[in-house]
Structures are given as C-alpha cells and as structure tokens.
Structure 1
Amino acid sequence: MAAHLSSGRVNLTALREAGRRELREFLDKCAGSKAIVWDEYLTGPFGLIAQYSLLKEHEVEKMFTLKPGRLPPADVKNIIFFVRPKLELMDIITDNVLREDRGRSPQRDFHILFVPRRSLLCEQWLKEQGVLGSFIHREQYSLDLIPFDGDLLSMESESAFKECYLESDQTSLYHAAKGLMTLQALYGTIPQIFGKGDCARHVANMMIRMKREFPGSQNSIFPVFDTLLLLDRNVDLLTPLATQLTYEGLIDEIYGIQNTYVKLPPEKFAPKKQGEGGKDLPTEPKKLQLNSAEELYAEIRDKNFNAVGSVLSKKAKIISAAFEERHHAKTVGEIKQFVSQLPHMQAARSSLANHTSIAELIKDITTSEDFFDNLTVEQEFMSGIDTDKVNNYIEDCIAQKHPLIKILRLVCLQSVCNSGLKQKVLDHYKREILQTYGYEHILTLNNLEKAGLLKPQTSGRNNYPTIRKTLRLWMDDVNEQREVALTCCSPRALSHRTPTTSRTCTAATPR
C-alpha cells in the first residue's frame, strides 16, 4: 500500500510506521468499541497514515464528521474527537457533549485527540463550558511531517504563511522544528543546516534548543541526510504567483490536488459506449490518487506539459505491442509467461487511459485564448516588459469579473517583478477591484500589502532585473521537451535553483 514511500533515495516508510504506531497506542487506551468524530480537515492527512482497515482492527466501528448538534446514533462505548486545537471547533464539541443523553444506558466515554499539539487555551475553554471533565483521555497526536511520496514530506499547514507573516504567530515554525526532530530521531542527526530568511533561522534555533533541552533525543544512528536546507517562502514570492506548466502543476492549477487525490469531471472517463449513447453518464467526479506508485505518473509528473503527449503516445505503442504478444505465444511456457504479465499490463493500460483523459482535459484549457493571454502577461512581467503601468489584460479581466484570485495573482506578480507598483497604478488597481468585487476586499488587499505581495514602490530602483540577470532566471532558448526547470512560464523559478537531491523536502509554508 505504501511501496512508493520506499522507492526514493530515503525509505520514508519508517516515518509512516511511527505515525501508525502512535495512533494504535492511543486507540488501545480506549478499551471497547469506538466511534471517531473527525475534524473534516484532518481526514485527508490521516488517510495517508492509516486506512480504515487499521482503525477497524482497533474496534473503530463508526466515523462521523464534526458538526453542531446531537451526535449521530452509534452503539459504541467510546466517542473520540480527532480535532485541531481551534476554539471554533471547541464550541462544536461542547455542543455535541452537552446534547448527549446522560440518561442512556450504558453511558458513552468521551476522549479528545488534539492534532498536532494539545492546547491549554482550548482545554481552558472546554473547562469554562463545563465539559472538560467529560473527557477521560485528553492527548495529542504529533502529525507534523506527513509522507506524501518517496521524496516528499508535507506539513499540510495551509495557513502557515498567513500565521507567520500576517499574525506574527510562529506556532507552525515550532511544528516544523518538532517534525524535523522526529525525522532526525528516525534517520539520524543531520550534520549540516543551511537557511535563508528569518523563519528559517527561528526553526534552526528551535531545533538547537530542543537538542539541549532533550539530550536523550541524540542518537547514534548514522545520518541518512547530510544537509538540511531551510528556505522562507518570502525568499521567492514570485514562483507561487506564476502559472505552473508541468503536468502535475497544471492538474493542481485547474482541479486542485488535495492529499495526493484529485477530483476530475467524469465525462472523459466514461466507457466509450456510454459516451456515445449519451445515457447513464457518470455524475460523480472521478477521484484519482496521484503519486509515484503509478509508474507512468512518476515519469510524466514533472515534465513540461508540451512533452507529455509524446510520452503517452510512446507508452500506448509499447502497451499495444505487449498485448499483441499473446498471438505469438505458442508453447505452454510462453502462454504462462504472458498470463503472469497480464495484471501489470492491464494496470498500465488503465493508467494510460486515465492520464490520456486528464491530458485531454488540460489541453482544452491550455489551448484556450484566455489561458494564452494570461500566460503572455505573466511572461511579459517576468521579462520586465510594461511592469510600471496599468495592464490592459488585467483591466479587461476585472471588467469581465474573472475569478478574484486570478486578478490578485497577476497584480501581485506585477508588483513583485517591479519591486512594487507606482502609487497611481496601485490605487487604480485597488479602486477597480473594490468597485467590482466588493468593498469587503479592502481587508484582502491590506493583507497582501502586509505580506509583501502587493506594495507601493518606495524607491525608483527595481531590483528584479538585476536578480533575473545575475541568477539567470530567464532562458531565451530552451527545449521545453527536456527542460525540467520549466515549472512555470518560461523563466527558471528562483526557488528551484537549489540543490535537487529530492523533489521537495518539507512544505512548512505551502503554496
């Protein structure tokens, strides 16, 4: 089930097993049948650690989503809340517990598992509401670094950037440091740490302090990692604003990848007979898991989308030729060999069909005039063209009320590429956005300014052209079929000009 975690240069199965072991130990403390009430945000990350079969082995019979009101009926002895330490969730839990029928027999026991840390503030809130004493076990589950793939760990902390740069809340940095300490406990102490940015320095300092406070955390395991590189997201604000152009990146741009899963329009995946008849077409989105366990996806995920078609065509010919081999199988041994290869061949054909359908869906978007116009504007900004004046395409998009996130990405991209916008240009964009999308977005624009994504130009000097030339971020002549660095538009992303021993290390501040 997790073979893809052991296929990289580092076997990440041990990290997953450590998480499963901690979960089993907590479940075993709650003797008897169980129902889990999930903070919906946690179901995806937990699904990468433990499937339902593991929960069932430990007497979990029911699972519900956390919501206000009375808990659904369940003939179980234990009710366990799996939640993040957030006050708004404590209000819902309080409502659930207070609505519990205390007259029922037998009574149910309540437990709460905070992920990733217990919160004194949350426990105090539960105490003030009069329900803290209802929980027999109040513990924490350290879900810091989640193994997504053989070379990818993620904290799945989508609000980390906002917390660090808008709210001055460094809790996510503490979780990053704890996660890295757990990693070192399993894979040996990392001898070298390099970093760039204030947040990187804070994480490194916290790790050093944790080593001093817990000398027992030092181990004699030979280090698997020789270097840890910590980068603040704000070292490169440009990359997450630009459109991703790899196969995986475009899937994420258009449909969104959540916890390695993507939901796609079902029409392209209907059997041909269904599609031709126009009847009984599936209505539920097609849900696919995307990771390197799938051989074809591992090959094309990081390729520029222009290179994907030729790979799929080549694979189709190879698979067709493999199936044709059945006509040449004459002897019993040859037939037996073909039959033994059949499951792998069928899986490869199914994988090819899925990714051909996905590529068709993406192509419908990427060949549109609007996608081309958007990409052209991004490339102009990143090559330093017309970054100091109001852009006509952005104005047209606002007038046509395109999605606000699209407008904000373009305006912020222009700001970053110009070391800020001229005051009159910035004021014009603000006025147009507020008049079109509503004055409640004054706060949105203010937050973007606080985060450094949108700002007035305070000096006449634009540093971006110098950075672009010095670091060679722009490539005029490039073979898109082979250039893996082409992850967004045409320039090389600044944050991708780093050591590439693995695709991604840790996503402490995700995109």
Structure 2
Amino acid sequence: MDDSDFPDVSVLKELAREQLTIHLGNFYGKKDLVIDPGLMTPLDRLTGLQFLKQKGVDKIFKLEHKEILGGCDQRVYVVRPEVKSMRNIAAHIHSDKRAAKLRKYRVLMVPRRLHVCELVLEQEGVFGSVQIEDLHIGLIPLDRDILSLENPQLLNSFFMEGDYTWLHTVARSIVNIQSAFGTIPNVYGQGHAAKIVETLVNTLTSELGEKKSPLQHKIGHIVLIDRDVDYVTPLCSQVTYEGLLDDIFEIKCGAIEFGP
C-alpha cells in the first residue's frame, strides 16, 4: 500500500482529545486531575502535559487510597470502571468532608461507566456528590500501523471469568474506526468472542445511526481472532531486542518505565 493511501490513525488520537476537551471544558476554571495509574501512560500519549494545562488542569495526581492534600476546588477523576477505584474516590471525598473542604467532583470512566461502580459509590455514601460521565477512549495509536486498547482486563475478564463486558468496548472501537475511515467491507473472524464482537458492531452501527462514509473506505479487511485460538504464541521467547526489553521490563502503551 502506498503511504498516501495508508489510513492516518492519528485521527483517533484527535477524537479522544476532543472528547477530553469537552469534559474538561464543562468544569470551568482551574481543576485538578486524578488519574488511574493504569491510564497515566495512555493519557500522556494522547494528550501530554501541555495540552492538559491549556484546558485548565492545575495539578495532576495518581489515584491512590491515601488522601490528597490541598488542590483546587474542582477535581476530575479519570479512571477505569473498577470497584477499587470507586472506593479510593469515596475515601478522598470522605476525607474532604472531614476537613470541611468544599469541592466539586467529576468522574470520567474509561471507556464507559458500569452499574456496579455506581452501586459502590452509593454504598459508600458519595454517589450524590459526584458527576459521572463516559470518556470513550478506544483504540490508541502506538505507531502508524499499530493500534491498541491498552486494556489488560479484557483477557481475564472474558476468557477466565466469562464476563462479556469489555467486548462492547472492542466493538465500539471498531465502529469508531469505521466512522473515521469508512465502512470495512470484509470482516473475518475465528472464535466465539469474534462472533459476538461482529454482532455488536452491527448492532451499535444501527443504534448509533452511523452513516456509511461518502469517501472510499481506507481499510478493506478486518480479521478478528480469539486469544484462546492460540495460547502458545505469547508464551514463546521473543528474539528481537524490543522483545527482550518487553520480557524484562514490560512495554506498556509503547513505552517502558524504569524505576528510580
């Protein structure tokens, strides 16, 4: 394929930035950003510190159970929809209440909210203190020809626990790709999850009223393969320098973090 015909996947990055701009803009003035540790690197790849500062972000914190001292009167949490994260958020709110600190809270769940998270916040007695919104971050461009959901929960969730929750995220990401680059005409798949995702893509396309792009499609084929079709390959030793670095230090979102 000629480089001029290759899909410009940076469009997906811009779409994510636009969503975050809207959410941060809804909180007028300065605000602090508290980010799930697992989302620090993906968010940095999508936005960067300068972008966040331009949108009114004053300080950035990593989400932990311990309280956050000081900060602005507005706080935005960017988290995965996990029970542990909800309890950490509740602990922060209770800490502020004990200190008689008045603050507004907004929780952006990536890629979407789950009912169980709302239940946890309600049980912790803070549901009425927060605004909850979805932040649809799907496939993240790691290179011009590599996209990743950067969602380590998916494998265990579906193949170990039989939870279909994250398949919706996979399907939604494919729908977003088709919105940007045109309908993908040829879909191939192998495995139970692949079939479910293909069905969800068709359903979401219909429900969201996605129109076929008037432009010629930039992606001609998509192949969906379940991980359980081949469990052996990821267990094999990698024989490249990059593979060795991944085995020893672990590459996350296209980057390696070295300790102090």
Q: Shorter-chain-normalised TM-score: which range?
A: over 0.9
The change in CA–CA distance for 1:228 and 1:60 in structure 2 (over 3 A counts) is same
CA distances 1:347-404 after superposition (whole Å, capped 9, x unpaired): xxxxxxxxxxxxxxxxxxxxxxxxxxxxxxxxxxxxxxxxxxxxxxxxxxxxxxxxxx
CA contact (8 A) 1:35 1:60 kept: yes
1:59 shift after superposition: 1.1
5 Å-filtered alignment, 1:4-15, equals: 9-15=6-12
Contact persistence 1:69–1:99 (CA under 8 A): no
SS of 2:18's equivalent? helix
| Structure 2 residue 197 is the aligned partner of structure 1 residue 197 | no
Shift of 1:28: 0.4
Matches within 5 A, 1:13-32: 13-32=10-29
CA separation in 1, counterparts of 2:31 and 2:146?
33
C-alpha contact (below 8 Å) 1:32/1:77 kept by paired residues = no
The counterpart of 2:133, out of the listed 111, 123, 139, is 139
Shift of 1:69: 3.4
How many positions carry a matched residue from both structures?
258
Q: Distance in 1 between matches of 2:87 and 2:257?
A: 31
Matched to 2:120, the amino acid is W
Distance in 2, Cα, partners of 1:181 & 1:66: 30
Give me the TM-score of the superposition, normalised by structure 1: 0.48
1:99 and 2:99 matched: no
Instruction: Return the offset for 1:112.
Output: 0.7
Partner of 2:117: 122
Change (3 A) 1:236 1:221: same
CA contact (8 A) 1:160 1:172 kept: yes
Instruction: Please say if 1:180 is aligned against 2:174.
Output: yes
Aligned to 1:170: 164
Contact 1:90 1:126 in 2 (8 A): yes
Deviation, structure 1 residue 102: 6.6
2:249 equivalent among 255, 264, 272: 255
Q: What runs of 5+ residues in structure 1 fail to find an aligned partner? A: 1-5, 265-283, 286-511
Asked whether the 8 Å contact 2:7–2:181 carries over to 1, the reply is no
Greater per-residue strand proportion: 2
d(CA) in 2 for partners of 1:27, 1:263: 27
User: 1:144, 1:179 within 8 Å by CA — same for their partners in 2?
Assistant: yes
Partner of 1:246: 240
| CA shift for structure 1 position 262 | 2.0
Specify the alignment match of 1:81 in structure 2.
Answer: 77
What are the within-5 Å matches in structure 2 for residues 312-391 of structure 1? none
Greater share of helix: 1
**C-alpha distance after superposition, 1:179-238 (max 9, x if no partner):** 000011011110110111111111111111112223344332321001111111122222
Aligned residue type for 2:186? Q
Q: CA deviation at 1:70?
A: 2.5
The equivalent of 2:146 in structure 1 is 152
Percent identity at matched positions?
A: 31
In structure 1, how many angstroms separate the alpha carbons of the residues matched to 2:31 and 2:56? 6
In our comparison, the structure showing a higher alpha carbon Rg is: 1
Secondary structure at 1:143's aligned position in 2? coil
Structure 2, gaps ≥5 residues long: none
